[in-house]
Chains A and B, each alone.
Chain A
Amino acid sequence: MRPASQPMPRALVALAALAVVLLAAPLLGLLWRTPWSRALAVVFDPPMLDALWLSLRCSVAAAMLALLLGLPLAAWLASGASRLRATVRVLVTLPMVLPPVVGGVAMLLAFGRNGLVGGPLERWFGLALPFTSEGVVLAETYVALPFLVLTVEGGLRSLDGRYLDAAATLGAGPWRVFRAVTLPMIAPSLRAGLLVAWARALGEFGATITFAGNLAGHTRTMPLAVYTALETSPDAAIVLSLVLVVVSAAVLFCLRRQWFPAR
């Protein structure tokens, strides 16, 4: 037996259906045009493998860097309320809403060879970031960090602080409390944050191409390879796109508990 409910107005149903079409059509288009017989050959083409391998390396490194820097930041943001925290939270959120290309341009000005930070970095340490794989990692970290920070901060805020109090009365200092109680108790948020940050890094395009360029084998990640291939061999672009779709879908599948709790 179903509970009685008011029927939805037809106009709304039609609009909702339109939204579903808008979301589904690109996927169907991709499946429809995929050259299945040549798919494996395209993926295992050495330049494509290079792009895939570079993408994996850089996105994993970016996710780890985001964790290393983002976890302490999230902990600080969650540790109270203040004007400074509110300001920093805006700063954290900015890369989420900023067009990635703008982020790339801004990064070039900051970390470029003549940049605010990049200049001294090169003069004193001989470190150059633009147009290197490290540059890719930095650009990806820039766009992935907000996802990690906000997810982990949410986890920390919903953590019952009395557990931390209990740990302290048992003789645990702040560092042990953080390591042995806080971290295990927010493990689901950490996992989710890491996964979205990694997915965001894997898909990064705008900031990467602007800041790190499009050098095959060095900075040409999967999204850049798709974009490049679209001009020369559209079939390859389609197959690579499909690979990225599959990866994204797999991430969503892993996150289904956190994001789509069963009703």
Chain B
Amino acid sequence: MTMDLHLDVELRRERLLLRAALQVAAGETVAVVGPNGAGKSSLLLAVAGLLRVDRGRIALGERVLDGGPDAPFVPPEQRGVGVVFQGHLLFPHLSALDNVAFGLRSRGVARGEARNAAARWLERVGLGAVHHGAKPAALSGGQAQCAALARTLATEPSVLLLDEPLAAVDASGRLELLRELREHLRRFAGPRVVVVHDIADALAFAERVVVIENGAVVQDGAIDELVGRPRSTYVADLVGLNGFVGVCADNHVRIGDVTLTVATPLRGDVLVTIHPRAVALFRERPSGSPRNVWTARAVDFEALLDRDRVRVRLDGALSLVAEITPAAVADLRLRDGGEVWVAVKATEIGVTPR
């Protein structure tokens, strides 16, 4: 039987106050992203029963796992919530096989039977018999992560939580591990939550992305929604846009000392986004009357190998990233570090109320 995960919690942990509501359907994968210390891991720990919520509730279908301080609390060992921890956390004193058999042994399954099941699970994640006797330290990062996944799946959990599953592998092992993890996530019938730290990983695992910042869910939606209407500067940065927080009055947005003219009239606090390709650079002050013009200096260059473009970080009254051709970098003599003029058309500036 598969059930949806419902979560509406408030919990305090050191300096963090996490207030989050989230629903994950059975068979759905949600990627959770956010800056370090935003509360992603606390969220996972609460679902796993390793942190108690101060208010609110966590439920799996109709079964309440944590109903707050005065309500029943299901301890982690009885929850059936499977967690693949960051850094795999395989027990260093046990072989890969015994690690995977651990959950079954904890439920009273006889040693031989548990080991047989463990061997099948290891086989399924691509770890052949040669690795069964290996201690975790002898496995590669990717193999260890697969063994950890097998260890969790072997307990047949109702919910699957993965905390930064790609963090421990190098670039070469990444693709293979990603394929393996995705395959098993797809086969898993319950709700799946994957904590990741960049948008590429989020996209690799899920269509739906939940962004947590400062203990709150700031955005929850499909990736095109994040790109189209990022709700915070963090999300804008995450998807590669320049993001600023400003105050809008009709067609003018004030961001620090700079005022930009925008196409959409709004009032109040807004998030301003500018696509790096919409940023035009000039050696001399551009003629005509583009209204959003200021000077800046190029401070950093990053070549985009796949599209013959260079991302230029500009320091000025408004610091932002522009994406231009390598030829333009040379024409503008950007690498000399002199001043250039930056111009952005009003129609190219996205404004979203906050």
Asked whether A170 and B106 contact (CB < 8 A) given A165-B50, A165-B76, the answer is yes
Complex: A199 Cα to B205 Cα, angstroms = 57
A163/B106 contact (C-beta < 8 A), A168-B77, A169-B81, A170-B155 known: no
B93-111: CB near A (< 8 Å → 1, else 0) gives 1100000001101110000
A154-172 residues with Cβ-Cβ distance < 8 A to B are 162-163, 165-172
Give the number of chain B interface residues (Cβ < 8 Å).
26
Chain B nearest Cβ from A141, distance in angstroms: 29
In whole Å, how far is A181's beta carbon from the nearest beta carbon of chain B? 6
B103 to A170, Cβ gap below 8 A? Answer: yes
Chain B: CB-nearest residue to A184:
B93
How many residues on the A side are at the interface (Cβ–Cβ under 8 A)? 17
Closest CB in chain A relative to B144 CB, distance in Å: 13
Given the complex, which residues of B lie within 8 Å of A170, measured CB to CB?
77, 102-103, 106, 151-152, 155
B71: min CB distance to chain A, Å: 20
> Do residues A168 and B89 form an inter-chain contact, with CB atoms below 8 A?
no
Query: In whole Å, how far is B239's beta carbon from the nearest beta carbon of chain A?
Result: 31
Within 8 A of B (CB), among A172-199: 172-173, 176, 180-181, 184-185, 187
**Which residues of B lie under 8 Å from residue A171 when comparing CB positions?**
77-78, 103, 106-107, 155
A164 CB → nearest B CB, Å? 9
Q: Tell whether, in the assembled complex, residue B85 and residue A173 are in contact, meaning their CB atoms are under 8 Å apart.
A: no
CB contact between B77 and one of A162, A172, A181, A184 (< 8 Å): that residue? A172
Known: A166-B83, A169-B82. A187 touches B93 (CB 8 A): yes
When distances are taken between beta carbons in the complex, the residues of chain B under 8 Å from A185 are 91-93
Find residues 148-178 in chain B having any chain A CB closer than 8 Å to their own CB. Answer: 151-152, 155
- Which chain A residues lie closer than 8 Å to B83 at the CB level? 166, 169
A173 to B75, CA, bound (A): 9
Bound form: Cα–Cα A181–B103 in Å: 12
Contacts of A172 in B (CB 8 A): 77, 102-103, 106
B334 on interface, CB distance cutoff 8 Å: no
Q: Is B48 an interface residue (CB 8 A)?
A: yes
Inter-chain contacts of B155 with A (CB < 8 A): 170-171
Check B77 against A163 for contact (C-beta < 8 Å). no
Instruction: Please measure, in the bound complex, the distance between the C-alpha atom of A163 and the C-alpha atom of B87, giving whole angstroms.
Output: 11
Tell which of B49, B89, B105, B107 touches A166, judged by Cβ atoms closer than 8 Å.
Answer: B89
**Nearest Cβ on chain A to B5's Cβ, whole angstroms:** 15
Tell me whether B48 and A169 are in contact (CB under 8 A). yes
A168-B50, A169-B77, A172-B77 are known contacts. Are A162 and B93 too (CB-CB below 8 A)? no
Chain A residue with minimal CB distance to B151? A170
Q: Is the CB of B106 within 8 A of A166?
A: no
User: B58-84 toward A: CB 8 Å interface, digit per residue (1/0)?
Assistant: 000000000000000001111101110
Residue of B76, B105, B107 near A168 (CB, 8 A) is B76
| 20 pairs, A vs B, C-beta closer than 8 Å | A162-B85, A165-B76, A166-B91, A167-B91, A167-B106, A168-B49, A168-B76, A168-B77, A169-B49, A169-B83, A170-B151, A170-B152, A171-B77, A171-B78, A171-B106, A172-B77, A181-B91, A184-B91, A185-B92, A187-B93
A interface residues, Cβ below 8 angstroms from B: 162-163, 165-173, 176, 180-181, 184-185, 187
5 closest pairs, A vs B, by CB?
A170-B103, A168-B76, A172-B106, A171-B106, A184-B93
